């Protein structure tokens, strides 16, 4: 991404005074759909970000320009709602509103932004955008909000202005990312730990099906409702269970006949996924990448057959990875499209990518996009 392009556009529209901020997208090695169920996730920030030039303009108006959309939007800082259709500006608007809801005072600003986090690929481009502005406004207005609350501000922007009842993992990873480290986050307690991640002899690569998922669709929220229903039934027998991830498989079996089969399958996936995250953490500590890979394949099976958020293109890439001897592969992100994340031995990398492009193109008529990712730092001021 050309930061100079962002700076030059800002100078053209608003002048020479600005500060530059960036927040990255993220990968999640394992632990999918567990965050809103109070479980563990294992993300890391990546070397693809949203970058913004920002200057406080002394008014009550925000003027925001998206280079990627070639579009300028304005809104007042005291507006309670954003008129018009669904739009990228709702993310910036939502962050401003959520900051003010918490009793902080902010003013208007001018901004130009762009990003190289692929949209719809499961790398959380929306969280990168929210985190950029939450971090920047906190810094520029000297608000003193801690990073956990900044993450919640991004999460509530999704809930209240976008319509996605997401967990907190994406915003957390974007804000807390640390180069060369993954993070295990307990989404119930918000306790987290950094784990060094520099797998010698392996590469992390994402294969993008270019199938776009709409997480605001009823399918995502419906799965959350299934999990909450299963948890409520378990909690009647076991009051100590606050989140579905607190439950054991034995507890789920007790209520199997009380809940719909669909809810049972969703819950089975979530409870199994919690254990897979813990298994991967243990395996990484031992340098046991074979077990890491096995658990990744286990997650894909669960997301495809139990949580049912995969699709033909993702399942095809996962099967192909297995056939090519890739150590680990799974759908990454919310599902319904997007990427597979693959842990590949360097010696297999070139052949795997070539085979994936050829075979995927033969079946679906186009090649998947390929993104090599490097684990990088989180939200920051960069000028």
> Could you tell me which residues are beta bridge partners of residue 341?
206, 330
Nearest-angstrom CA–CA distance, 183 and 155: 18
Q: Which residues contact 158 (CB under 8 A, 6 or more apart)?
A: 94, 126, 127, 130, 164, 165, 166
- R_g of the chain computed on alpha carbons: 21
DSSP secondary structure of 332-357: ESS-SSSEEEEEEEHHHHHHHHHHHH
Q: What are phi and psi of 68, to 5 degrees?
A: -65, -35
Q: List C-alpha distances in Å: 375 to 33, 271, 336.
A: 21, 27, 25
Strands across the sheet with 380-381, in order?
A: 71-76, 61-66, 109-115, 43-56, 19-28, 380-381
Active-site annotation holder among 2, 47, 78, 170: 170
Q: In the annotation, is 146 catalytic?
A: no
- Give the number of other CB atoms < 10 A from CB of residue 62: 24
> Which residues are catalytic, by number?
170
């Amino acid at each position: 991404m050309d930061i100079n392009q962002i700076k030059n556009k800002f100078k053209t529209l608003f002048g020479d005074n600005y500060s530059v901020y960036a927040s990255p997208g993220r990968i999640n090695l394992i632990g999918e759909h567990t965050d809103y169920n109070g479980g563990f996730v294992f993300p890391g920030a990546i070397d693809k970000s949203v970058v913004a030039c920002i200057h406080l303009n002394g008014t009550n108006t925000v003027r925001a320009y998206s280079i990627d959309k070639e579009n300028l939007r304005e809104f007042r800082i005291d507006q309670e709602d954003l008129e018009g259709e669904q739009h990228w500006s709702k993310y910036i608007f939502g962050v401003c509103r959520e900051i003010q809801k918490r009793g902080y005072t902010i003013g208007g600003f001018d901004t130009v932004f762009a990003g190289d986090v692929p949209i719809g690929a499961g790398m959380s481009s929306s969280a990168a955008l929210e985190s950029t502005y939450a971090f920047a406004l906190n810094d520029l207005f000297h608000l003193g909000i801690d990073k956990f609350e900044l993450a919640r501000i991004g999460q509530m922007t999704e809930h209240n202005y976008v319509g996605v009842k997401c967990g907190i993992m994406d915003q957390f990873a974007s804000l807390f990312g640390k180069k060369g480290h993954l993070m295990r986050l307990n989404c119930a307690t918000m306790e987290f730990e950094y784990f060094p991640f520099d797998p010698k002899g392996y590469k992390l690569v994402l294969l993008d099906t270019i199938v776009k998922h709409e997480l605001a669709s009823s399918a995502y929220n419906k799965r959350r409702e299934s999990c909450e229903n299963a948890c409520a039934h378990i909690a009647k027998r076991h009051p100590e269970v606050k989140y579905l991830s607190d439950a054991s498989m034995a507890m789920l079996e007790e209520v199997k006949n009380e809940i719909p089969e669909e809810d049972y399958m969703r819950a089975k996936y979530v409870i199994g996924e919690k254990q897979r995250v813990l298994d991967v953490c243990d395996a990484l500590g031992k340098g046991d990448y074979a077990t890491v890979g096995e658990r990744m394949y286990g997650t894909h099976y669960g997301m495809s057959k139990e949580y049912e958020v995969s699709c033909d293109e993702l399942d095809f890439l996962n099967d192909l990875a297995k056939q090519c001897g890739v150590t680990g592969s799974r759908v990454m992100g919310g599902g319904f499209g997007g990427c597979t994340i693959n842990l590949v031995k360097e010696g297999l990398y070139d052949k795997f990518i070539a085979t994936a492009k050829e075979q995927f193109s033969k079946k679906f008529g186009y090649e998947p996009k390929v993104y090599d990712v490097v684990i990088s730092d989180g939200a920051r001021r960069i000028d």
